[in-house]
Structures are given as C-alpha cells and as structure tokens.
C-alpha cells in the first residue's frame, strides 16, 4: 500500500498530526521515527501522547539521555531514543524489547534495532523543508500499519484545514 506524505508548517501542526495518529493506535503499535535532530520527532510524540495519555503530555521530552520515557495513561506510551546505543545487542542487554508489546512504542533512531524491529511497523521520516516546515513521510511494513495509514488518510481528508490538492496539513 502506498504511504502518505504530509507537510506541516508549525510545531502545533506537527503535534496535531501526532494527536490524529494517536486516535488510531492500540497497545502493540510500533512507530519508528527517523530524521535529523530537531526534525520534529519529539513534538510529534507530544501530540501522540496528548491523545493516548493526556495526563502525561506535559512531560514529553526527548529521551536522548534517559533512553526511555514512559507516559502512563489510557494507553501507555513508551518513547525510546536509541541514538546513544550501537545496535540491537545493546538494546537486548538492557531488556527494552520487553516493552515493545504492551503499550504504544515510539522509537527514535530505530535503525539501531536491526533484528529486534517488529515485522509490522509504522515508519515516519521527518525532513526539514525550512524554518518550521517539515515533510513527514509515513509508510507501513504490515497489514495493521497499512490499515492505520488508510484511516489516517481519511481523517486528514475530513479535516477542514486539509488542502486535498496538495495533501498538506496546514
């Protein structure tokens, strides 16, 4: 199934995209976030957490030094940042894969997972297009993630601030 490309023009639009996607996720959902530092990944995650664990949304911060932050709520969100780890051996030794199935998992620097990456994953690539502008490309690697992308496309089409000609979230 083809993916989805969305351009956001502000931090609040990036958070809104995260919030919309959050309405479609269940425990066991796995999101692999890719992109340069400062690309909007943590901002997106804040929006996602605002839907799944609203009482924890104000706590969302990049877990670069902590490696993992958990946000309890209606559905717990585990937010990982594997930038400082060298590969799946480090991740396995620390036992992080035990967290991958009972909550929504958001992983920054997911390419470090190698063999530990689940088979059904939503992959989000964040690219800078300018000062506050981001291109967010979303693809799936399995049936569940492809269904989520289809549902997200429908949510975006129904939003009043959606430009259907360009498929941009404004």
Name the most confidently modeled range: 32-36, 82-86, 97-101. Answer: 32-36
Q: State the residue range of the domain holding 144.
A: 4-169
**What is the DSSP secondary-structure string of 73-124?**
SSS-EEEEE-TT--SHHHHHHHTGGGGSSSSEEEEETGGG-GGGS-SS-EEE
Q: How many folded domains does the chain comprise?
A: 1
- pLDDT tens-digit series, residues 106-157: 998 888 777 778 889 999 999 988 888 899 999 999 999 999 999 999 888 8
Contact 65, 38 (CB under 8 A): no
- pLDDT, residue 160, reads 55
Backbone angles phi, psi at 34, to 5 degrees: -130, 150
What is the band of 168 on the pLDDT scale with cuts at 50, 70, 90? very low
Choice between 8 and 38, residue whose per-residue pLDDT is larger: 8
**Torsion angle of the four alpha carbons 88, 145, 10, 15, in this order, in degrees rounded to the nearest 10:** -80
65-74, 78-87, 146-155: least confident range: 78-87
What is the band of 64 on the pLDDT scale with cuts at 50, 70, 90? low
Neighbours of 36 (CB within 10 A): 10
- pLDDT tens-digit series, residues 9-56: 888 889 999 999 999 999 999 999 998 877 788 899 999 999 999 888
pLDDT at 1 over 70: no
Name the most confidently modeled range: 48-52, 58-62, 97-101, 155-159. Answer: 48-52
CATH code for the domain in which residue 86 is found: 3.40.50.300
What is the band of 63 on the pLDDT scale with cuts at 50, 70, 90? low
């Amino acid at each position: 199934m083809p993916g989805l490309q969305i351009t956001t023009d502000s931090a609040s639009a990036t958070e809104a995209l995260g919030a919309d996607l959050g309405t479609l996720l269940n425990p066991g959902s796995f999101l692999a976030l890719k992109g340069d530092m400062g690309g909007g990944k943590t901002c997106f995650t804040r929006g996602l957490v605002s839907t799944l664990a609203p009482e924890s949304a104000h706590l969302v911060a990049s877990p670069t030094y902590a490696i993992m932050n958990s946000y309890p709520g209606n559905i717990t969100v585990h937010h990982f940042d594997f930038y400082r780890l060298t590969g799946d051996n480090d991740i396995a030794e620390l036992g992080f894969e035990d967290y991958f199935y009972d909550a929504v998992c958001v992983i920054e620097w997911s390419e470090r997972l190698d063999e530990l990456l689940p088979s059904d994953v939503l992959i989000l690539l964040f690219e800078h297009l300018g000062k506050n502008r981001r291109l967010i490309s979303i693809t799936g690697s399995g049936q569940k993630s492809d269904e989520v992308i289809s549902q997200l496309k429908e949510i975006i089409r129904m939003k009043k601030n959606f430009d259907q000609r360009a498929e941009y979230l404004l």
